[in-house]
């Protein structure tokens, strides 16, 4: 049994259960029917006997045994066509016979017996001076025949039930096992070929199997995501860190060869090495941020307060910046405070980096079903051809690279990843030479109104 598939076991068990219950039911019905019909037969035979005895009693003194011998019309009217009745002497000799449905049964000493497929009743009778025995024989041929038919019908129906239950059991097992088989095939495919081979197991019902498939899907989604993140981190890190490491290596060998004696080479190389090291440090931090990206649950942020905090922080980093906080007060969004701070700070930092001397930034909110936060700057703007790519990892516009602004090309990728993990959206609009607007949308968080 251990080697059998679940489908076979299911089929076997359901058929067996259905068949055994059917067989039990048939046995009970058969026994009950047998008892009831047999009772009916006995009652009929007794009725004939009682009618005859009653008839003899009413004729007592008027008719003799000889009258009955010569004319059995009276008895004929009472005895059923398929029954036989005898008047026997006490020695068991028949004197009168009505019908010939069965041979004589000289069972003289019993009142009732079932023998040779018939009920036999004996009752002592007195007709005039004659003392004898009245015997009624009630054959059971029709009854036995009927019971045989019933038995055969039950056996045929039982066999059909067995087939039917096996068929239904098999179909049921098939129906329930199909999604599980599909799931197991899918798992094997993923195991052999990786996540690229992942498909969705179609199953619309929300029963236990549906729930299992949903859990599996969600689990695979998470696994795939973390797998992708890990793969991306490794490839990004190895690709992007190669350049600064090579630069570092170049400068160190420069110092090794000439720098020990040449002050200017030493100074320059140490300076560049430090810049590269800082860049690398920042890149590693940002890469880790992108890879780690854990979702904090349950937080919400007051947009106005967050913008105020960013403005305060930027005063020290970029005193040349003018930040206008035009956000409506008491607007809360469904994203933790620290995350919203990080998002807005990244965008404002870019506004400072990619603008001329006097950056001016406006932050405002537009309330709809969601909260739309607009961050507008008066910077250099972004050419339309770059707009679709600025959220890609490591994407930097050439001008930014040549201007040697500090940056890794990861800032906006982090913003987008953060926004999306809190069910938000981020867009950008820009006109070169005029400025850029970043639009971040989040679900509103409704703060419970206080009692008064
Ligand atoms: P970086 O580390 O280079 O700033 P980001 O992902 O933050 O990386 O930005 C990607 C590129 O998009 C930047 O290199 C820059 O060219 C452009 N960019 C981002 N924000 C602005 C802005 N406010 N104005 C003009 N260009 C921008």
Mean pLDDT is lowest, of 99-113, 188-202, 423-437, for 99-113
390 Cβ inside 6 Å of ligand 1: yes
CATH classification (class only), 6-144: alpha beta
DSSP state, residue 193 = H
pLDDT digits (tens, 9 = 90+) for 105-128: 666 667 777 777 888 888 998 888
Distance between CA 217 and CA 24 in Å, rounded?
46
Mean pLDDT is lowest, of 44-48, 247-251, 424-428, for 247-251
Q: Write the DSSP assignment of 289-340 as a string of letters.
A: HHHH-PPPPS--EEHHHHHHHHHHHHHHH-TT-EEEEEPPTT-EESS-HHHH
Cα(349) to centroid(ligand 1), Å: 9
Residue 402 has pLDDT above 80, yes or no: no
Burial label for 103, CB within 10 Å (0-12, 13-18, 19+), is exposed
How does residue 356 score in pLDDT terms, banded at 50, 70 and 90? confident
Question: Which run of H or E residues covers position 34?
Answer: helix 6-59
Mean pLDDT is lowest, of 72-81, 106-115, 151-160, 203-212, for 106-115
Cα(383) to centroid(ligand 1), Å: 11
For the domain made up of 301-451, give the CATH fold.
Heat Shock Protein 90 (3.30.565)
Other C-beta atoms within 10 Å of 166: how many?
Answer: 17
- Return the domain boundaries, the chain: 6-144, 208-292, 301-451
**Whether this model's pTM surpasses 0.75:** no
Best residue for ligand 1 mutational test, from 390, 402, 436, 438 (most atoms within 8 Å of Cβ): 390
User: Which residue has better confidence, 170 or 104?
Assistant: 170
Mean pLDDT value of segment 424-440 = 96
What would you report as the CA-atom Rg of the chain, rounded to the nearest whole angstrom?
52
For the domain made up of 208-292, give the CATH fold.
Helix Hairpins (1.10.287)
Best residue for ligand 1 mutational test, from 283, 314, 396 (most atoms within 8 Å of Cβ): 396
Which residue, by CA, sits nearest to atom 21 of ligand 1? Answer: 350
400 Cβ inside 6 Å of ligand 1: yes
359 Cβ inside 6 Å of ligand 1: no
Mean pLDDT value of segment 307-330 = 92
Cα(229) to centroid(ligand 1), Å: 22
173 Cβ inside 6 Å of ligand 1: no
Cα(415) to centroid(ligand 1), Å: 11
347 Cβ inside 6 Å of ligand 1: no
Distance between CA 44 and CA 136 in Å, rounded?
11
């Amino acid at each position: 049994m251990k080697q059998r598939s679940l489908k076979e076991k299911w089929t076997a068990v359901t058929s067996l259960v259905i068949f055994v219950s059917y067989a039990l039911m048939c046995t009970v019905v058969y026994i009950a029917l047998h008892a009831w019909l047999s009772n009916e037969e006995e009652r009929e035979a007794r009725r004939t006997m009682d009618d005859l005895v009653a008839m003899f009693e009413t004729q007592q003194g008027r008719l003799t045994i000889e009258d009955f011998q010569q004319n059995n019309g009276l008895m004929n009217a009472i005895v059923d066509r398929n029954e036989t009745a005898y008047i026997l002497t006490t020695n068991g000799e028949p004197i009168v016979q009505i019908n010939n449905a069965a041979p004589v049964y000289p069972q003289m000493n019993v009142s009732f017996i079932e023998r040779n497929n018939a009920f036999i009743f004996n009752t002592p009778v007195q007709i005039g001076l004659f003392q004898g025995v009245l015997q009624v024989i009630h054959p059971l041929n029709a009854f036995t025949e009927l019971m045989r038919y019933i038995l055969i019908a039950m056996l045929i129906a039982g066999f059909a039930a067995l087939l039917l239950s096996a068929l239904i059991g098999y179909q049921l097992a098939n129906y329930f096992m199909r999604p599980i088989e599909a799931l197991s095939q899918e798992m094997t495919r993923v195991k052999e070929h990786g996540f690229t081979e992942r498909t969705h197991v179609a199953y619309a019902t929300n029963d236990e199997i549906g729930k299992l498939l949903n859990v599996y899907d969600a689990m695979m989604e998470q696994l795939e995501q973390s797998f992708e993140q890990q793969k991306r981190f490794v490839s990004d890190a190895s690709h992007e860190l190669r350049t600064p490491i090579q630069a570092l290596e170049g400068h160190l060998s420069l110092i090794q060869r000439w720098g020990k004696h040449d002050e200017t080479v030493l100074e320059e190389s140490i300076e560049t090495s430090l810049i590269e090291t800082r860049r690398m440090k920042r890149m590693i931090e940002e890469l880790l941020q992108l890879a780690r990206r854990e979702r904090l649950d349950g937080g919400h942020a007051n947009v106005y307060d967050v913008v105020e905090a960013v403005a305060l922080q930027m005063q020290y980093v970029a005193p040349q910046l003018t930040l206008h906080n035009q956000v409506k007060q008491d607007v809360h969004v469904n994203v933790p405070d620290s995350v919203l701070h990080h998002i807005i700070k990244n965008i404002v930092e870019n506004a400072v980096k990619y603008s001329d001397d006097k950056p001016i930034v406006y932050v405002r909110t537009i309330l709809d079903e969601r909260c739309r936060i607009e961050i507008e700057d008066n910077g250099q703007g972004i050419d339309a051809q770059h707009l679709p790519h600025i959220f890609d990892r490591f994407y930097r516009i050439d001008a930014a690279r040549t201007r040697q602004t500090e940056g890794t090309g990861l800032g906006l990728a982090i913003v987008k990843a953060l926004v999306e993990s809190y069910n938000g959206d981020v867009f950008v609009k820009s006109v070169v030479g005029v400025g850029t607007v970043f639009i971040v949308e989040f679900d509103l968080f409704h703060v419970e109104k206080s009692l008064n």
